[in-house]
């Protein structure tokens, strides 16, 4: 690819928009998983008693169990949401731009 072609793509408003959008979305998702995980860690450090309570009167299951499993499931759900977003938004934009520049 020549320098001119590269410049043309880099200066294309649609390309610039794509870069901005992808960066924002991936940053947002990263923050989401970090917030979920480190909240869990802080809860473990400062809220042990809360996590150790039974989920209802007389049950053996503690609140910590569904929360822990929930962190695992939410990690997976987040990756799923990202794939959904990327398939619906990222891929079509890439396809469009590649067609536009004949690549």
Chain residues that interact with other proteins, rule: CB under 8 A:
1, 6, 9-10, 15, 18-19, 22-23, 26-27, 29-30, 33-34, 36-38, 40-42, 44-46, 48, 51-52, 59-62, 64-65, 68-69, 71-73, 75-76, 78-80, 82-83, 86-87, 91, 94, 97-98, 101, 103
Q: What is the smallest separation between the CB atom of 101 and other proteins, expressed in angstroms?
A: 8
Distance, CA of 23 to CA of 26 (rounded, Å): 5
Distance, CA of 47 to CA of 35 (rounded, Å): 16
Distance, CA of 59 to CA of 54 (rounded, Å): 6
């Amino acid at each position: 690819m020549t320098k001119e072609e590269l410049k043309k793509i880099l200066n294309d408003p649609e390309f610039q928009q794509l870069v901005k959008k992808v960066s924002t979305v991936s940053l947002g998702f990263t923050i989401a998983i970090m917030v979920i995980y480190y909240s869990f860690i802080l809860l473990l450090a400062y809220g042990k008693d809360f996590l150790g309570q039974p989920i209802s009167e007389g049950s053996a299951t503690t609140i910590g169990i569904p929360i822990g499993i929930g962190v695992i499931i939410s990690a997976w759900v987040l990756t799923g949401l990202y794939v959904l977003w990327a398939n619906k938004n990222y891929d079509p934009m890439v396809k469009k731009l590649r067609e536009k520049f004949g690549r």
